[in-house]
Structure 1
């Protein structure tokens, strides 16, 4: 997955993760959560949704009122159509925490670190 995402603009990364179901949870605003563990590595990612759109619940309530749950299946199709045609880009800030003790180098690379944003900014604890 990281190889397929690296070098792409952030919007394309988010879209790829979303369409390929490379996430563990989707928040109401379309942001994605990923939890990965392999060997002695941990990685927790928050992929902030780069689009401003209405939540399904709000859309459904506007369309059908209090009883929207009775029409959820039909409304889901309408929602996906409306959402895909009304994608307005907005600033997004993805966040990722990596714990990779095998990469620890004193003064050079921390075992645990947090990436804020799309580029390489990070905060670390050198434990």
Structure 2
């Protein structure tokens, strides 16, 4: 099973979006790809280390902050108390995945409705 790190809070500060977690992100490298978890109604930003992928879970509760950061074209950083990593290509990937979800029943009615409600 892949490691999952759930984002607890998203804060726009100093012209960037900070995605906060209390789990270690040491050694993680951005894989520059966003996936969809239709079952949990969340986005997944992929990161990797030497051995496997780690899923950075972006739950529906932080989507309004993602939308605001998208509108302002802000860089996105994953942050813990002692470390911070820029999520490379985040805005481009988010825009791409949202355009794929729009009106696409393959993602499930609930996911499409929620994404369209926040992002479109």
Flag whether TM exceeds 0.5 (same fold).
no
User: Higher helix fraction: Structure 1 or Structure 2?
Assistant: 1
Larger Rg: 1
User: Higher strand fraction: Structure 1 or Structure 2?
Assistant: 2
Give the TM interval when normalised to the shorter protein: under 0.3
TM-score normalised by length of structure 1: 0.24
Relative contact order, higher structure (CA 8 A, sep 6+): 2
